[in-house]
Amino acid sequence: MTAAAGLGAAGLAAALLADASTTAVTAVAGVVAGLIAAVSLLAGAVRIAPGWRHQSAAWRWLASGTAAWAAGVGVRPLAEGTPFMLTFADVLLVVGAVLLAVGSGRTARRRAYGRSLLHYATSAYISAASLFAIAWVVLLAPLYARSDEPSTLVSPVVCLLAACAVAPAALASRSAGRRVGIAGLAALTAITLQEIATAMARVTTGGALSLAAGLVAPLAFLLLAAAPWASRARTRPVRAPSSVIVEGAPLVLAAVAAVVLVVHVIAKGSERPVAVLPFVVASVVVVLLAKVFVLAVETASMRGGLDSSERRLIHLAESAGDLVLVCDHDGVMREMGAGVEALYGYPPRELVGRSIFDYVHAEDAPGIQAALKTLTADDDLALERQSACRVACRVRAADGTWRPAESVATRHPSEGEDLVLISTRDVSDQVALRNQVAHLTFHDGVTGLPNRAYFEERTREVLARRGGGTTAVVFIDLDGFTGVNDSVGHAGGDYLLSQAARRLRAAVHSDDTLARWGGDEFAVLLESGGSGPSAGSGTADAQSAIDLAERLVRAVSSEPFRVADRDIALTASVGVAFAEDGVPAGDLIRNADVATTRAKELGGRRVEVFAAHMHADVVRRLELAADLQRALLAGQFAVEYQPVVDLSTSRVTAVEALVRWSRGNTLVPPQQFLGAAEDTGLIVPLSEWILGEACREVAAWRASSWDIGLSLNLSSRQITAPRFVETVEAALAESGLPASALTLEVIEEMLVEDADEIVSRLSELRALGVRLAIDDFGTGYASLAFLRQLPVDMIKIDPSFVSGLGRDETLTLLTRTIVRLGHDLGLIVVAEGIERPEQLELLREMGCTRGQGYLVARPMAARGVDSLMRTSLSPLQETA
């Protein structure tokens, strides 16, 4: 007995020593972990980065709770021997738990759970009460039954309630400091579990916790110590759990608690529960009912607000001129805005229950059906579902007209049914404006015909579709239109162009495209190879295109145009180009333009069909123009002089200045480059240079006591050039040549084409004292009329008349008539192109006073004229 007692006492002593050692270890671990966590949290709060200041206070609360818990853990071993079941250490532990709960909850940057404080409080209470009921039935009730002091359960219950109260906010937080909050909640949960284990140990064995159970809380606090520094690495808010999970967690806990209670009641039978449990259950039921009531009120308020918002939206849309309606996925209209009567003339009641497809154009219906199907797709097609889409369609109004509209359709769930809200706007004005802009972009404002841009695009389309074939382009240029604007004004010119467009349109088949190319040019695209009666068969050949071109010429020149009470007669030059396989549209149009230019050069009022050599001629002319520019800058031109003699005395009375171009070692004839110079405008600076050179030479000869005059040809471009009269006056002044010694020659065609401006400029020159001559007299249109209108000093008989003298009686008679006419009018008559002696004799016999030609003298350089002047011989004497 004594030995056994001794052994039992020894074992009891060993057990007490072991419990004391475990308690000490857990106490030391708790104090160390708590202090580390408190220091870490305080350091993190002090060194917190800008933008995280809202976390500083929360971390200080966590540090305070951690310190209080560490103090409680450290004091607890000393209080174990006291006669009080709820010691001072337990109070510190409870205070620490409460402070940890406050800190964990404040880590949330904003209220993250629920829509209001009441909603949050009720959810937290339901969660805490449900967990308390579960914990009470499973763990605390047996302890309560065994415990002599119910106060032993105060600490576990308080910790449990604190954890439940703060869990929703910490878990649902979207703040960047959410990790610290969760770590605080984990520490609080560990404290709760440890306090429950401690209470169980006190009640069951009266001993201390096991080492493993005692280290749970310290490890949680070490995790809390690391959380502030892990959170500092994140700069963006984290993703919180789904609101469905957070909102549903309290209800799930309540359901689990109810199941546990039911099972407990069934298992225990008639055993009377502790009074607190019915109170908790009753309070949860009351809170749930209150929450349901509040949610119903909020739902009704939200529905009322939604209905009010819908009404305001509809009113706003209708105020802006939109029509708002609601329909289902089949297009049946459920609601209709009052604006439909103003927009389309339908009473709203008449449309409700009808299908929108009864009022939408059949071509637009498939697009609307697809949009409705996409908006109201089933859940298994949720990936294809859209929230809104835009649809353009045509709507039939009550008067039967189709009006363009733009609609925006959005999903509109209502009372469990998936409907569609459609806002429709009448865009008739916008469509009309767009059509007008498109018309103005591709049509000419004067004639109403398609313009150049449209013609080019249409030509490309036709060639791409047909690849050439019998496709042709016809260009029409109005001859003589240049002077129309000057004579009747630009408004009159535009009116003439509109008349010409009507005539051309009447001559062109409806399948072909007539356009105004620009200025006084028109273009026709023959898609079927021709027009007129035979074009409809589609078998028309190239001849039908030429027939059309000739009809266009006749349409323009058949009768004069009536403009500003005046009759204006015009003709047309027409070019035709046929498409070959693979020819670009630009080349086809260019070829027609080249053919038109060729027709104009040949005198106009004719049709020319493009040939390859025409383009080559154009290229050569462009190259020639470039060479002319360089030659003028390089001084490659020279002036030669052809003497004009008095036929009765054989004395040289004047010289005619002629330009010569030495292109390298080749002498270029004037007829090859003067036309290009005229077209490019280079004739103006070239003529000015010739005038200056010739005036200086003749002035020098006159200074040597040789009474000699200068004759110079003028082009129409030179006469109409700005400051032409001033240029002539300056050349005379610089050279010292008297104005009476200068004779300027013009051809009759120039007087006919630009009569008003040419006559005005020549009259100004006549006022300076310059003498005027009509060159190539007898070949123009109205010689006698202009002899009366313009004060002329000289006429020069065209060489075509002189060449027939002695061989052609008609030409001889005409030449004699011209000479007599000149004498009767008091004019000097000069015969050009004298090459045979019999021509010279006949001219002398007719009384022609002066002449020039190869028989008289060939053109010569200035030194040749000097030699002629020194010998004092006339060219006729040298010839003889």
User: 182 and 277 share a domain?
Assistant: yes
Q: What one-character-per-residue DSSP string does 753-809 give?
A: HTHHHHHHHHHHHHHHT-EEEEEEETSSS-HHHHHHHS--SEEEE-HHHHTTTTT-H
475 sits in which H/E element: strand 472-479
Stretch among 184-198, 508-522, 621-635 having the lowest mean pLDDT: 184-198
In a domain, 98, yes or no: yes
Decide which of 677 and 11 is more confident.
Answer: 677
pLDDT per residue as tens digits for the range 640-698: 999 999 888 888 899 999 999 887 778 888 888 888 888 778 888 999 999 999 999 99
pLDDT per residue as tens digits for the range 419-451: 888 888 888 888 888 888 877 788 888 888 999
In a domain, 325, yes or no: yes
Residue closest to 215 by CA, chosen among 25, 80, 72, 63: 25
Size of the chain, expressed as the number of residues it contains: 880
Q: What percent of the chain has pLDDT over 90?
A: 17
User: 286 and 415 share a domain?
Assistant: no
185 in Cβ contact with 107 (< 8 Å): no
pLDDT per residue as tens digits for the range 562-601: 888 888 888 999 999 988 877 888 889 998 998 998 888 8
The model's confidence at residue 243, banded by pLDDT at 50, 70 and 90, is low
- Chosen domain end from 610, 635, 658: 610
Q: Distance between CA 111 and CA 89 in Å, rounded?
A: 33
The number of domains in the chain is 4
Distances (CA, A) of 653 to 261, 449, 710: 144, 59, 9
DSSP state letter for 853:
S
The model's confidence at residue 552, banded by pLDDT at 50, 70 and 90, is very high
Q: Distance between CA 231 and CA 407 in Å, rounded?
A: 50
The region, left, alpha or beta by phi > 0 then psi within -120 to 50, assigned to residue 489 is left
Amino acid at 127: S
Q: Distance between CA 539 and CA 29 in Å, rounded?
A: 108
In a domain, 8, yes or no: no
Q: Distance between CA 101 and CA 98 in Å, rounded?
A: 5
Pairing label, strands 402-414, 388-396: antiparallel
Q: Distance between CA 169 and CA 182 in Å, rounded?
A: 10
Position 150 pLDDT exceeds 70: no
- The Cβ of residue 535 has, within 10 Å, a number of other Cβ atoms equal to 23
Position 876 pLDDT exceeds 60: no
Distances (CA, A) of 402 to 391, 395, 429: 16, 5, 13
Mean pLDDT of the chain: 77
Stretch among 19-28, 228-237, 605-614 having the lowest mean pLDDT: 228-237
pLDDT at 743: 92
Q: Distance between CA 574 and CA 608 in Å, rounded?
A: 6
User: 588 and 667 share a domain?
Assistant: no
Q: Which domain range does residue 542 map to?
A: 443-610
Q: What percent of the chain has pLDDT over 70?
A: 74
3-state secondary structure 239-280: CCCCHHHHHHHHHHHHHHHHHHHHHHHHHHCCCCCCCHHHHH
pLDDT at 642: 92
Position 14 pLDDT exceeds 50: no
423 in Cβ contact with 407 (< 8 Å): yes
DSSP state letter for 330:
T
Q: Distance between CA 610 and CA 71 in Å, rounded?
A: 111
Contacts of 238 (CB under 8 A, 6+ apart): 174, 175, 176, 178, 179
- Chosen domain end from 395, 430, 465: 430
The model's confidence at residue 521, banded by pLDDT at 50, 70 and 90, is very high
User: 536 and 389 share a domain?
Assistant: no
User: 779 and 708 share a domain?
Assistant: yes
In a domain, 183, yes or no: yes
744 in Cβ contact with 712 (< 8 Å): yes
597 in Cβ contact with 529 (< 8 Å): no
- Chosen domain end from 371, 399, 430: 430
**CATH code of the domain covering residue 773:** 3.20.20.450
**CATH code of the domain covering residue 397:** 3.30.450.20
680 in Cβ contact with 735 (< 8 Å): no
pLDDT at 4: 37
User: 418 and 281 share a domain?
Assistant: no
User: 569 and 658 share a domain?
Assistant: no
User: 485 and 341 share a domain?
Assistant: no
In a domain, 438, yes or no: no
Q: Hey, what's the torsion of the CAs at 866, 869, 875, 880, to 10 degrees?
A: -120
The model's confidence at residue 311, banded by pLDDT at 50, 70 and 90, is low
Residue with tokens 């001072």: 88
Helices 276-319 and 243-268 meet at what angle, rounded to 10?
Answer: 150
User: 250 and 380 share a domain?
Assistant: no
CA R_g for the chain: 57
Decide which of 726 and 268 is more confident.
Answer: 726
Q: Hey, what's the torsion of the CAs at 35, 36, 37, 40, to 10 degrees?
A: 120
pLDDT at 516: 93
In a domain, 299, yes or no: no
pLDDT at 302: 67
Residue closest to 250 by CA, chosen among 295, 291, 296: 291
User: 92 and 174 share a domain?
Assistant: yes
In a domain, 524, yes or no: yes
Position 514 pLDDT exceeds 70: yes
User: 823 and 763 share a domain?
Assistant: yes
Q: Which residues partner with 322 through β-bridges?
A: 425
Give the HSE-up count for residue 173: Cα atoms under 13 Å, Cβ half-sphere: 24
Backbone angles phi, psi at 392, to 5 degrees: -110, 135
User: 808 and 849 share a domain?
Assistant: yes
Residue closest to 737 by CA, chosen among 690, 694, 693, 699: 699
In a domain, 355, yes or no: yes
- The Cβ of residue 668 has, within 10 Å, a number of other Cβ atoms equal to 18
